[in-house]
């Protein structure tokens, strides 16, 4: 049966707010397969010496597709180097840009994340145009630039989510400039690895987010390892048990 003739089956549970058509599920599956192939190819390119460094998001595809369905224009991602599937799914990166960054392409059009200056999977959206003027940040989703030190994205994620609250609570910032916030409705989506949750800044950020009551979603991609160390070497239980 051709895809176009399939009935539009909603994949959902009784209480779920997210409804996916059969076409959505097939599109997600295609994206996951492409993303996995990109991971494997980039790894091979590093191993044979064609690229200087590669790091990718094998195994996190499905969780990131789920996160992508909740992400809206104006929202911010503040994550780490495993998020390529999410970035592809929300249209903030593509395969061509992924490989341009792998080969450290200095052309900012081909690698808009960093013009070859950052390592692979260090994503960023451009918030200024070519003349240095602010872009309309509400026109699409945004991604803060990747920080290589493990956990460093966490305090920044608090700042981004806190900004939304400030916009929501006070009319003053809204009158200064347009294109930054729609009445503070933007959510910040932070991501971090399980070993990264051992960093002090992770706990400080979690605490600050609770105290400030800000719109911050934290996803921990728990694959049981931090580099080659098993989780038991860095914490006493699964990452899920650490989250209040």
Indicate which single residue of 196, 205, 206, 218 sits in contact with ligand TPP (rule: CB under 6 A): 196
CA 179 centroid distance within chain: 21
CA 92 centroid distance within chain: 9
Site membership for ligand TPP, residue 200 (CB under 6 A): no
CB of 48 to ligand TPP, least distance (A): 22
Window 166-195: residues binding ligand TPP (CB under 6 A): 193-195
Q: Closer CB to ligand TPP, residue 82 or residue 156?
A: 82
Q: Closer CB to ligand TPP, residue 140 or residue 219?
A: 219
Q: How far apart are CA 214 and CA 230, in angstroms?
A: 32
Residue that has been written with the tokens 């966490």 in this structure: 154
CB of 165 to ligand TPP, least distance (A): 27
- Paired sense of beta strands 142-143 and 188-193, if any: unpaired
Cα(first)–Cα(last) distance of the chain, in Å?
47
Residue 19: count of CB within 10 angstroms of its CB: 11
Site membership for ligand TPP, residue 223 (CB under 6 A): yes
Indicate which single residue of 51, 92, 100, 150 sits in contact with ligand TPP (rule: CB under 6 A): 150
CB 160 within 8 A of CB 76: yes
Indicate which single residue of 86, 189, 202, 221 sits in contact with ligand TPP (rule: CB under 6 A): 221
CB of 150 to ligand TPP, least distance (A): 4
CB of 33 to ligand TPP, least distance (A): 20
Q: Which residues fall within 8 angstroms of residue 115, CB to CB, at 6 or more apart? A: 105, 106, 107, 108
Indicate which single residue of 148, 170, 213, 243 sits in contact with ligand TPP (rule: CB under 6 A): 148
CB 191 within 8 A of CB 83: yes
Q: How far apart are CA 174 and CA 23, in angstroms?
A: 39
Window 63-82: residues binding ligand TPP (CB under 6 A): 82
CB of 71 to ligand TPP, least distance (A): 20
Q: At CB < 8 A and 24+ separation, what contacts does 222-225 make?
A: 222/193, 222/194, 223/59, 223/60, 223/193, 223/194, 224/194, 225/194, 225/195
Q: Closer CB to ligand TPP, residue 182 or residue 219?
A: 219
Indicate which single residue of 54, 79, 141, 226 sits in contact with ligand TPP (rule: CB under 6 A): 226
Residues that bind ligand TPP (CB under 6 A): 82, 148-150, 193-196, 221, 223, 225-227
């Amino acid at each position: 049966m051709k895809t176009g003739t399939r009935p539009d089956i909603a994949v959902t549970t009784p209480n779920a707010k997210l409804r996916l058509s059969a076409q959505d599920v097939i599109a997600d599956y295609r994206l996951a397969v492409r993303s996995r192939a990109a991971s494997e190819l980039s790894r091979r390119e590093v191993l044979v010496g064609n690229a200087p460094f590669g790091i990718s998001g094998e195994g996190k595809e499905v969780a990131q597709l789920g996160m992508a369905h909740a992400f809206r224009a104006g929202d911010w991602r503040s994550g780490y180097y495993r998020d390529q599937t999410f970035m592809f799914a929300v249209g903030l990166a593509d395969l061509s840009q992924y490989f341009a960054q792998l080969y450290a392409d200095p052309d900012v059009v081909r690698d808009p994340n960093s013009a070859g200056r950052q390592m692979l999977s260090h994503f960023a959206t451009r918030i200024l145009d070519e003349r240095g003027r602010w872009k309309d940040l509400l026109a699409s989703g945004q991604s803060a630039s990747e920080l290589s030190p493990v956990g460093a994205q966490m305090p920044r994620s608090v700042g981004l989510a806190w900004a939304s609250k400030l916009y929501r609570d006070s009319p003053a910032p809204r009158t200064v400039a347009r294109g930054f916030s729609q009445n503070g409705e933007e959510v910040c989506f932070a991501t971090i690895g399980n070993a990264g949750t051992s960093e002090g800044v992770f706990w400080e950020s979690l605490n600050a987010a609770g105290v400030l009551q800000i719109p911050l979603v934290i996803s921990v991609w728990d694959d049981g390892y931090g580099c080659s160390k098993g989780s038991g070497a860095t914490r006493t239980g699964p990452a899920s048990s650490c989250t209040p």
